[in-house]
């Protein structure tokens, strides 16, 4: 449900903005979102990669690619795309949380702890609360050893 809502919002934002016809990523993104709607995630992934080549500084494309990777079980690839989106837009705390959770799941616990710590100190209220809980879940066992 969360993925569908995020993809729909992103699709509308990308497709309906001014100058959509002149957007170099428009074609591959349109096809990628059609593939996602048809649950053809393996077909959407190369289309998102083409869109990234056309518009490498747009974090929303990387976020959507990351969610497509998650759908096919490619957690490390998803983590790496969230990392790039976070590098482009460090103020997107939702992306940072996604990245940190995937770091934790893929064995990069020190990086997860670092990102959760940053978010719990600088994020919006909801992100701070989530990051605080996650940070404590990682930090508590370290403090007990």
Q: Which residues does 35 contact at the CB level (< 8 Å), separation at least 6?
A: 41, 43, 44, 47
Give the pLDDT confidence score for residue 22 in this predicted structure: 86
CATH class of 1-89: mainly alpha
Are the C-beta atoms of 90 and 82 separated by less than 8 Å?
no
Give the pLDDT confidence score for residue 85 in this predicted structure: 98
Interatomic CA distance for residues 35 and 67, integer angstroms = 13
Give the pLDDT confidence score for residue 18 in this predicted structure: 47
DSSP 21: G
6 token code pair: 């995020």
Q: Average pLDDT for residues 81-95, to the nearest whole number?
A: 97
What are 2-55's pLDDT values in tens digits? 555 455 445 555 545 544 668 999 999 999 999 999 999 999 999 999 999 999
The alpha carbon of residue 50 and the mean position of all alpha carbons in its chain are separated, in whole angstroms, by 17
pLDDT for residue 60 is more than 50:
yes
Domain ranges of the chain: 1-89, 90-145
DSSP 74: -
pLDDT for residue 82 is more than 60:
yes
End-to-end CA distance of the chain: give it in Å, rounded.
39
pLDDT for residue 139 is more than 70:
yes
Burial class for 27, CB neighbours closer than 10 Å (0-12, 13-18, 19+): middle
Q: Which of 36, 90, 89 is nearest to 65 (CA)?
A: 36
């Amino acid at each position: 449900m969360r993925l569908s809502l995020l993809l729909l919002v992103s699709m509308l934002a990308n497709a309906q903005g001014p100058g959509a016809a002149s957007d170099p990523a428009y074609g591959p993104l349109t096809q990628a979102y059609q593939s996602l709607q048809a649950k053809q995630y393996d077909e959407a992934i190369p289309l998102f990669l083409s869109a990234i080549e056309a518009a490498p500084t747009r974090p929303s494309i990387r976020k959507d690619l990351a969610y497509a990777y998650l759908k096919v079980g490619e957690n490390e690839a998803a983590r790496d795309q969230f990392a790039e989106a976070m590098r482009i837009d460090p103020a997107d705390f939702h992306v940072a949380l996604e990245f940190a959770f995937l770091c934790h799941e893929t064995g990069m616990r020190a990086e997860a702890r670092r990102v959760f710590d940053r978010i719990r100190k600088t994020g919006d209220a909801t992100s701070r609360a989530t990051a605080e809980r996650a940070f404590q879940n990682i930090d508590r066992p370290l403090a007990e050893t």
